Amino acid sequence: MALFNKKKEPETRNLPENLPKHIGIIMDGNGRWAKKRGLPRKAGHSEGGKTFRKITRYCSDIGIKYLTVYAFSTENWKRPDDEINSLMKLFRSYLEEALSDFKDDDIVVRFIGDKSHFNDELRALMIENEEGSKDRPGMVLNIAMNYGSRDEIVRAVKQIVHEVEDGSVSEDEISEQLISDRLYTAGQPDPDLIIRPSGEYRISNFLLWQCAYSEFVIMNKLWPDFDKEDLDEALRIYAQRNRRYGGV
């Protein structure tokens, strides 16, 4: 079965012309979605996984170049074992499907975050997915797993310290660009738009450095209920924003 269904959207969706190049999504609200229905939290994650597939395919179909989704944070390990186990199972089943299908799919799959905390099987699947998709021509999908932006920045700082110590970088060469180049998202444009469903006004340690000039759109839908129309609405809101980057 295809990880992302490949059906193209009809041309009639009436989308704004200035679409963001890079969208970040904090996929929030799975637990509340399940609770509202008297279901276990894992049912919310499973439904959220379906939304992730739909929205990813849709972003690719409408020509978004980069999509970063927040799937599991460095802080999410604090959740009960049962919830973590079901999330890991969900991740594994998606990654297996992605692998079996990668020849037909044009999406480049990347994982941002510290892979070393995942078990060998999951880590191997992540690496296989990255290797198998890296030469595809389509949208870059960053899946943030065991990702924390502060942790990402600490790693970048340590790397730069080593480079200064071994003489490959001088203090004068340390710049915003050099720091960006040491983050997991090196070589990618910063997100233009960050969407947070579920009505929470928080960034939750997501792309702190990269979101300096991102536009934020908070939506009141829980992630499992989020659909293409909600994404269209976020795109329309984004298109009306006047981005000044600190200028006038």
Told to check if 3 binds ligand FPP by CB under 6 A, we report: no
Nearer to ligand FPP, 67 or 71 (CB): 71
- Among 4, 22, 24, 45, the residue binding ligand FPP under the rule CB under 6 A is 45
Sign of CA dihedral 159, 77, 118, 38: negative
- Among 58, 66, 91, 102, the residue binding ligand FPP under the rule CB under 6 A is 91
Told to check if 197 binds ligand FPP by CB under 6 A, we report: no
The Cα–Cα gap between 22 and 164 comes to: 31
- Among 108, 143, 195, 231, the residue binding ligand FPP under the rule CB under 6 A is 143
Number of residues that bind ligand FPP (CB under 6 A): 18
Which of the residues 30, 61, 76, 181 is marked catalytic? 76
Stretch that binds ligand FPP, among 9-17, 22-30, 204-212, 228-236 (CB under 6 A): 22-30
Residues in touch with ligand FPP (CB under 6 A):
27-32, 45, 48-49, 52, 69, 71-72, 76, 90-91, 94, 143
**Active-site residue list:** 28, 76
